[in-house]
A = this chain, B = another copy of it.
Amino acid sequence: MLSVTSNLTHVQQGGSKIILKYAGKDATQEYDPIHPPDAIENNLPPEKHLGPVEPNTVEKVEVRITDEEMARQERMSNRPPLDEILNLHDFESIARQVMPEKAWAYYSSAADDEITHRENHSAYHRIWFRPQILVDVTKVDWSTRILGHKSSMPVYITATALGKLGHPDGELNLTRAAARHNVIQMIPTLASCSFDEIVDAAQPGQVQFLQLYVNKDRNITKRLVQHAEQRGIKGLFITVDAPQLGRREKDMRMKFTAEDPSEVVKSGSDGIDRSQGAARAISDALKAYDLGLAGVVLSNHGGRQLDFARSGVEVLVEVVTNLKQKRGLSFPNDKFQLFVDGGVRRATDVIKAIALGATAVGIGRPFIYAFSSYGEQGVDKALKILQDEFEMNMRLIGAKSIQDITPDMVDATNISSHIASTPTDRLYDSNYESMQHAKLREIKSKM
């Protein structure tokens, strides 16, 4: 059983407004994607459980299919076949067109001016390769071990929230595709599916990790950890640095535009006590090592928390230098493993992180976009693309195995220069939906 820091994202849970809106009506359709099946049992005290509802006593909420929704469904039916998806960028481009606007806004948004969110990707563009060309690359092997567990590539599926917003099967899409590719899934605390559903969906022997917030009530945490252990979870990733929910304006903006301002809940009102948690938990790469933890994730939560936080891969360079000077460690290191996440779109991004000392890299949004546009097959294809890219690029940089990827194979001199690098990433840039100002009402109505 292992403890490491991880990234985590959140959604606001209902306030009184949303309850009043659906009072006396069947709210299942609205409730489902944002609450796991066991949410009521786990979060509501037993005395508040009133029992099942008599279906014919509730007013049916008539589902109006708007013109926008019709148009969206038509776009969905016009998705290109999966064969035409050539890279992870493509999933995002399709998802943006075929996802419900609300789901897209929730997944794609980030904190403040979304500087950190974009920096996560652009940081990788400041790292260049120095390939080796003296190597017999007939056979290349990019499989590795993450916290001692086999993984077909130095990548894991990181924890992201509310999978059902993008697809009815939610996180199960990830579980199933992960099984087929021998890739490890990190189960999020705030999944749409329940923890047990996700574990049940796993194949025998499939490795899963769990992401966890520390709860003020230590007993709750204890129960969760014991249950996870019983169900065979192999790694625990404790989030210690999300004391408050980031303010994601693009998400807020879309809600005003789309429908119901009452949904724009004040940040922080999600029932999880983050402020307490952070103080009691451990953190910081150095402390983590001294406390005997198995590793640490260098993450800024996909740019959804503190804007102008630096990218994981930039911090990685600093942490590796630090741990080398102060603890004499070298990386990758089996005893104390470093992970980064955020902004990864190509196997070359992963290889760069490995060269700089990471054991593996977490990928989140690209998999969400994959299942939001193509379900489980989308995730399968995304992993297949990564496998193809790994094979090709392991050969091209001259590395026969993950161990051969060494620091001298990359030039990261400019990693701390947050300046416009060249050439530009056309696919990433055209996917990025620019932030928008508040709009006059008349203008909005015409758009």
Which residues on A are within 8 Å of B, measured CB to CB?
74-75, 78-80, 83-87, 89-90, 93-94, 97, 112-115, 118-119, 122, 125-131, 133-139, 240-241, 243-247, 249, 252-253, 256, 261, 264, 267-268, 275-276, 278-279, 283-284, 287, 305-310, 346, 348, 352, 388-389, 391-393, 395-398, 411, 413-414, 416-423, 425-428, 430-431, 434-435, 437-444
Contact A275 B438 (CB under 8 A): no
CA distance A170 to B352 in the complex (A): 40
CB contacts (< 8 Å) of A134 on chain B: these are 283-284, 287
Given contacts A86-B253, A411-B310, A416-B411, contact A133 B423 (CB under 8 A): no
Taken together as a complex, chains A and B put the C-alpha atoms of A249 and B346 apart, in Å, by: 13
Query: Which single member of B128, B241, B246, B247 contacts A310 (CB below 8 Å)?
Result: B128
Residues of B close to A310: CB separation below 8 A: 128-130, 411
Write out the residue numbers on chain B whose beta carbons fall within 8 Å of the beta carbon of A427.
113, 435, 437
Q: Is the CB of B420 within 8 A of A422?
A: yes
Other A-B pairs beyond A90-B438, A112-B389, A243-B395, 10, CB < 8 Å: A86-B438, A114-B423, A115-B125, A135-B278, A135-B279, A138-B275, A247-B392, A306-B348, A310-B411, A430-B434
> Which residue of B is nearest A444, CB measured?
B80
A421 to B439, CA, bound (A): 27
A308–B128 touching, CB < 8 Å: yes
- Point out the residues of chain B lying under 8 angstroms from A137, CB to CB: 243-244, 275, 278-279
Q: How many Å lie between the Cα of A279 and that of B398 in the bound state?
A: 10
Given contacts A94-B438, A440-B78, contact A252 B86 (CB under 8 A): yes
Asked if B306 and A78 make an inter-chain contact with CB atoms under 8 angstroms apart, the answer reads no
The distance from the CB of A275 to the nearest CB of chain B, in whole angstroms, is: 4
Q: Please, which residues of chain B bring their CB within 8 A of the CB of A417?
A: 414, 419
Contacts A283-B133, A305-B396, A420-B422: A261 and B83 contacting too (C-beta < 8 A)?
A: yes
How many protomers of this protein does the assembly include? 4
Most buried by B among A84, A264, A352, A441: A84
Contacting A75 at CB < 8 Å: which of B119, B244, B392, B440? B440
A440 to B98, CA, bound (A): 9
Query: What B residues does A307 contact at CB under 8 A?
Result: 346, 348
Closest approach, in angstroms, between the C-beta of A215 and any C-beta of chain B?
Answer: 14
Q: Which of B126, B261, B392 contacts A246 (CB 8 A)?
A: B392
Instruction: Report the bound CA distance from A79 to B125 in whole Å.
Output: 38
The verdict on A388 contacting B283 (CB below 8 Å), with A397-B306, A442-B74 known, is no
11 A-B interface contacts by CB (under 8 A): A78-B441, A80-B439, A84-B256, A86-B252, A90-B438, A93-B438, A129-B309, A137-B243, A275-B395, A307-B348, A430-B437
CB pair B80–A391 under 8 Å, yes or no, is no
Contact (Cβ within 8 A) A423 B136: no
- A196 → chain B, closest Cβ, in Å? 31
Report whether B437 and A89 are in contact in the complex, using a CB–CB cutoff of 8 Å: yes
Most B CB within 10 A of own CB, among A74, A119, A395:
A395
- Nearest-CB distance from A320 to chain B (Å)? 16
Determine the distance from Cα of A352 to Cα of B128 in the docked complex, in whole angstroms.
22
A243 to B128, CA, bound (A): 19
Please state if B392 and A249 are interface contacts (CB–CB under 8 Å). no
A389's contact among B75, B247, B425, by CB below 8 Å, is which? B247
A122 vs B113: C-alpha distance when bound (angstroms): 13
**Least CB distance, A369 to chain B, in whole angstroms:** 12
Pair B243/A84 contact, Cβ less than 8 Å: no
A272 CA / B12 CA spacing, docked (Å): 56
Complex-state Cα separation, A283 to B74, whole angstroms: 54
B348 & A126 in contact (Cβ 8 Å cutoff): no
Flag if A80 contacts B423 (CB, 8 Å).
Answer: no
Q: Which of B89, B133, B276, B414 contacts A284 (CB 8 A)?
A: B133
